[in-house]
Amino acid sequence: MSSETTLILFKPDAVAKNLTGQVLARFQAKGFIVRGIKMMHLSDEILAEHYAHIATMPFFPSVRSFMQETPVIALALEGENVIAEVRDLLGPTDSTQAAAGTIRGDFGFKDADAKMRNVCHASDSQEAAAAELKRFFGEGEIFAY
């Protein structure tokens, strides 16, 4: 295994419920290293690009509205097999299906109608991570030390 970097977005539900520190602590407890972190408001343009796979769906306006309820926190996280490991730590996208002990199982909404309210977005592949990191971090905003 080699080291890789992934994108995590702390979604508005995590920000509003003040869960970001607890979730970040779980990532760091696994030995992952923060390489970049910032709070930002998401524009319509960045959301249309990030959610291009659903941007034409009738439910996209509600996704956009949710993602703009509060600022989000973008996190560049590095570690061995970090992409798969983070997704395992988070649990299934649908928090109602997430087991206790996973981040979504412990902190996600348990309302089947609130599937987007699942604490974090995490890149699902190295290719997605590379594109997403460029989307949310500019030149010089991801650090190696």
Indicate which residue of 41, 50, 53, 121 is catalytic: 121
Catalytic-residue membership of 53: no
> Which residues partner with 4 through β-bridges?
79
The length of the chain in residues reads 145
Contacts of 127 (CB under 8 A, 6+ apart): none
Helix (H) or strand (E) holding 72: strand 72-80
DSSP 70: S
> Which residues partner with 122 through β-bridges?
8
Which residues belong to the active site? 121
